[in-house]
Amino acid sequence: MTRKKRRLILIAVCGSVLALAVGLILSAMSGSIVFFRSPSEIEAQAIPAGTRLRLGGLVQDGSLKRGPGQTVDFAVTDHGATIAVQYTGLLPDLFREGQGVVAEGILEPGNRFRADTVLAKHDESYMPREVADALKKQGRWQEGGAKGPVPAASASADGTLGPRSER
């Protein structure tokens, strides 16, 4: 076998192993990918019940109701549509009506959302990028009230969102 042929075989084997590794990584990640949706997008796209997703918008004024134990019911709106959310657990300290929120969980029949994680906005000038983009698309964005999304945001240990540079 010539050197050229051996080199081609080695390159082909390495390429195959690399493609297999990438395929395995992508298939392992597919179960943990969660898509962000606003209430209007959920209504418009008729997303089937049982779908895991992130719901973002504003906590509707007057919708917060505390149930038995740590159960909390509230509604998330983008001023175009509203979805009822039920969450059991401790809410972030910054969670309140009229503020931006991102809830991760499962969409149930009847456009109810059962959240297992709730993230509240960090301060007056922060709103999650996806929520701000959804509000801008609908023409509901208020430049004076919220200054827009902070470029680098992540969840902190207390469950709130905020810019990394402030930590």
The alpha helices in the chain, defined as continuous H runs, are 3-29, 39-45, 129-137
pTM of the model: 0.58
The string of pLDDT tens digits covering residues 103-158 is: 999 999 888 999 999 988 665 555 667 777 777 877 766 654 444 443 334 444 44
Structure confidence at residue 36 (pLDDT): 79
Rounded CA separation 124/4 (Å):
64
3-state SS, residue 157: coil
Query: pLDDT tens for residues 7-58?
Result: 999 999 999 999 999 999 988 887 667 677 888 888 888 888 888 888 988 8
pLDDT of residue 149: 42
The reported pLDDT for the residue numbered 146 is 43
Closest to 70 measured CA to CA, from 85, 84, 56, 91 = 91
Pairwise CA distance, residues 3 & 123, whole Å? 64
What pLDDT is recorded for position 158? Answer: 44
Q: How far apart are CA 87 and CA 95, in angstroms?
A: 12
Question: What are the residues facing 112 on neighbouring strands?
Answer: 84, 108
Q: Return the ∠ at Cα 149 (arms to 145 and 153), rounded to 5°.
A: 135
Does residue 126 have a known ligand-binding role?
Answer: yes
Residue boundaries of the structural domains of the chain: 35-166
pLDDT at 93 over 90: no
Ligand-binding site membership of 79 (annotated): no
- CATH topology classification for 35-166: OB fold (Dihydrolipoamide Acetyltransferase, E2P) (2.40.50)
Three-class DSSP category at 6: helix
Between strands 112-120 and 35-37, the pairing is unpaired
Asked whether residue 164 carries a pLDDT value surpassing 80, the answer given is no
Q: Quick one: average pLDDT of 91-96?
A: 86
Query: In the predicted model, is pLDDT for residue 82 greater than 60?
Result: yes
Give the pLDDT mean for 60-76: 90
Distant-in-sequence contacts of 144-151, Cβ < 8 A, 24+ apart: 146/100, 150/122, 150/125, 150/126
